């Protein structure tokens, strides 16, 4: 079996833990060595003094006992102070050298990536070929397809190599944005590792990031309109004030994400996980939230006008002062939801689950909602109950209930 090379950083860490272990052992056995204190047991030295007369005869023998203090652990540690300090300094220097080496390696990877993609874009003239549209020749089309595939492969590979380096992941994406490769080449980046990447205010319109890892990524104020993120993981991501209008977020994990003041107008969030997400004052007008998990979500002041929330799970969510005008909430679970000052004007609440009538009546315009089976009338853009009298009886029933 080939011998494995031990990294200097690992050796430094081993030495450091060895020193700590020795100190702990000394502290542990010190009470045994010296019951009266920390350290080696104290000793005694006996000195004899003989007095003689003028004739040389011994007249007196004096014995003097001198106590020799024991060495405490702290004495030993003071002796070890220099080697310990040197070991710590050596560890720190090795760590800094390791970090410098790692940074140089990553900068080299980034430089090589930029050069390779630039060659493909400039020398192969991929962007110009793309602009030809229907006039592109078969040869140019093959060159374009192979070039785009190569850029995709190198991009995904480079992002994987920056596993724990969100700043350089952001550099890769910003480079592609600057050269306009994502939109013009319709670059498919599905499956990309962009965890914790800093993409604040980035223009990722129409980007394909299906099944990508975007956990804890910073996309605040980013433009990802009409982008596709299907089955991507955006848990705990920052999407505050992001522009996601028309994006496909079906089955996306947005658990714990910050979407406050985000524009999600017309966004497909069907069966998405928004458990515990912050959607304060978010624009969800005309959005698709069918079967979406919004358990415990914060939707205070959110705009859900004409949104489709049928069969959605909103248990424990906060919808205070939210606007649900004409929204479809049929068969949705609104148990324990805060509906105080929520506008339910003309909302469709057929088979919607509430904790009790008191909860429902804490909302505004609850008596203007539709509680029986209805259809959407495109001409007037509103829900029309199939049986208006039955709906009115249901409203009166709720009104008179305790």
217-246 pLDDT, tens digit each? 999 999 999 999 999 999 999 999 999 999
CA distance 236 to 80: 47
- Name the percent of the chain lying above pLDDT 90: 63
User: How many CB atoms within 10 Å of residue 256?
Assistant: 19
pLDDT at 25: 59
Residue 301, pLDDT score: 98
Among 374, 370, 399, smallest CA distance to 386 is for 374
Torsion sign over Cα 386, 311, 241, 201: negative
Average pLDDT, the chain: 86
Q: Looking at per-residue confidence, does 263 or 61 come out higher?
A: 263
Q: Tell me which of 21-30, 77-86, 357-366 is least confident.
A: 21-30
Tell me the pLDDT tens digit for each residue of 183-216.
888 899 999 999 999 999 999 999 999 999 999 9
Please tell me the pTM assigned to this model. 0.75
Higher-scoring residue by pLDDT: 178, 41 = 178
Residue predicted with more confidence, 3 or 75: 75
Statement: residue 40 has pLDDT above 70:
no
Residue 1: what pLDDT? 37
Among the listed residues 186, 258, 251, 264, the one whose alpha carbon sits nearest the alpha carbon of residue 225: 264
pLDDT confidence of residue 164: 87
Q: Is 263 strand, coil or helix?
A: strand
Q: What is the pLDDT of residue 80?
A: 62
CB 361, CB 380: distance < 8 Å: no
Res 33 pLDDT > 80 = no
pLDDT at res. 13: 52
Residue 236: the pLDDT is 98
Mean pLDDT of 4-8: 43
34 has pLDDT over 60: no
Q: In sequence order, which ranges of 211-356 are alpha helices (DSSP H)?
A: none
Distance, in Å, from the CA atom of 105 to the CA atom of 100, rounded to the nearest integer, reads: 9
Which CA distances in Å does 339 have to 251, 284, 298, 322, 402? 26, 17, 12, 8, 17
């Amino acid at each position: 079996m080939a011998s494995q090379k031990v990294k200097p950083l690992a050796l430094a860490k081993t030495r450091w833990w060895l020193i700590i272990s020795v100190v702990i052992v000394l502290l542990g056995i010190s009470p045994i060595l010296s019951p009266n204190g920390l350290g080696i047991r104290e000793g005694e030295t006996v000195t004899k003094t003989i007095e003689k007369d003028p004739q040389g005869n011994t007249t007196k023998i004096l014995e003097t006992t001198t106590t020799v203090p024991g060495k405490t652990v702290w004495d030993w540690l003071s002796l070890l102070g220099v080697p310990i300090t040197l070991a710590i300094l050596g560890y720190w220097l090795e760590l800094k050298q390791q970090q410098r080496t790692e940074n140089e390696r990553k900068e080299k990877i980034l430089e090589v990536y930029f050069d390779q993609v630039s060659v493909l874009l400039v020398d192969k003239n991929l962007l110009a070929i793309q602009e030809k549209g229907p006039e592109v020749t078969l040869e140019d089309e093959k060159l374009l397809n192979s070039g785009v595939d190569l850029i995709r492969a190198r991009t995904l590979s480079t992002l994987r190599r920056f596993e724990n380096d969100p700043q350089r992941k952001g550099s890769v994406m910003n480079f592609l944005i600057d050269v306009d490769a994502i939109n013009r080449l319709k670059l498919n980046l599905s499956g990309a590792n962009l965890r914790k990447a800093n993409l604040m205010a980035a223009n990722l319109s129409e980007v394909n990031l299906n099944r990508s890892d975007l956990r804890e990524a910073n996309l605040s104020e980013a433009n990802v309109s009409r982008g596709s993120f299907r089955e991507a993981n955006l848990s705990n991501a920052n999407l505050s004030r992001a522009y996601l209008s028309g994006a496909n977020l079906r089955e996306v994990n947005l658990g714990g994400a910050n979407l406050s003041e985000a524009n999600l107008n017309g966004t497909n969030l069907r069966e998405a996980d928004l458990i515990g997400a912050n959607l304060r004052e978010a624009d969800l007008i005309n959005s698709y939230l069918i079967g979406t998990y919004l358990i415990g979500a914060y939707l205070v002041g959110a705009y859900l006008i004409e949104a489709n929330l049928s069969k959605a799970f909103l248990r424990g969510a906060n919808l205070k002062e939210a606007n649900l005008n004409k929204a479809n909430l049929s068969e949705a679970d609104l148990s324990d939801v805060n509906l105080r000052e929520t506008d339910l004007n003309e909302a469709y609440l057929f088979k919607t689950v509430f904790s009790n009538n008191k909860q429902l009546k804490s909302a505004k315009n609850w008596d203007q909602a539709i509680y029986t089976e209805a259809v959407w009338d495109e001409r007037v853009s509103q829900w029309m109950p199939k049986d208006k009298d039955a709906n009115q009886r249901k409203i009166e029933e709720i009104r008179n209930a305790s």
